[in-house]
Amino acid sequence: MPTGAAPARARWTLVRPAVALPPVVFGVLLLGTWEAVTRTGAVAPFFLPAPGTVAQAFGEAVTDGDLLEYTWQTVVESAAGSGLGVAVALPLGYLVARSTLASRTLQPYIAASQAVPAVAIAPLLALWAGYGLLPIAILCALLVFFPMLVNTVLGLRELDRDVLNAARVDGVGRWGMLRHIEFPLALPSILAGVRTGCTLSITGAVVGEFVMGGEGLGQLLAVQRGQADTTGLFVTLLTLVLLAAVTHGTVRLAERAVAR
């Protein structure tokens, strides 16, 4: 075994708790403050249920299976929207990064598109594409499109020009340049945009279900709001938070695997 292996393992053992400790401590403080507020009676349980009540309701919802069905539908919608966003944002990002004419032509419209709220677009999508998975996936794609595009353009524009010029001198064509040099070097930035976009796609799915209906967590939130079910709303929001965290962590793991 190399002599540096043991110190490296020791550093890994020391670093991991140091990374995990701050969020754990913050979470404990947050839950403790929440519990203290509910115990003092400063806020009525109707407006702010206790953490234990929410945890119990969450466990019952998971056991019954209904919450998992709603969650799966939202996952399908957000995954479809993320895939559609990747399919459009990455090629368009390459075009904007490599073509001055395309950049000057498209960038003002791409930036202006972010001023239109998703809630305002959703009714139009329902009229154009009907109801169901397709319009919600399109809405998710519109939300994830911008961060994916920006990170793709940024990653391609920041590549070392000396490396690109050397490859051209060696006779590397445009396709070979993209496949073997540009895409691998820009991949960390591209995946960072994908990570952000995939997390936002969950918001898009919820907004779409609010406006266009559906069978996911957004529809469940609408029903619980109509029933004034505060505990149920907290359970659904907790599910969305966990879903976003899992999505973010999954893409992050993919980033590290690709980097290695």
Q: Give alpha helix (H) positions in 44-160.
A: 51-64, 66-98, 100-113, 118-129, 133-157
Please write the tens of the pLDDT for every residue from 160-183. Answer: 777 777 877 777 777 877 777 788
Q: Parse the chain into domains and list their residue ranges.
A: 49-110+117-259
The number of beta carbons lying within 10 Å of the beta carbon of residue 256 is: 9
Which burial class, exposed, middle or buried, applies to 136 when counting CB atoms under 10 A from its CB (0-12, 13-18, 19+)? buried
Please write the tens of the pLDDT for every residue from 197-239. Answer: 888 899 888 988 888 877 888 888 888 888 888 888 999 999 9
Question: What is the second-level CATH architecture of the domain 49-110+117-259?
Answer: Orthogonal Bundle (1.10)
**Rounded-to-integer distance, Cα 45 and Cα 39, Å:** 10
DSSP 132: S
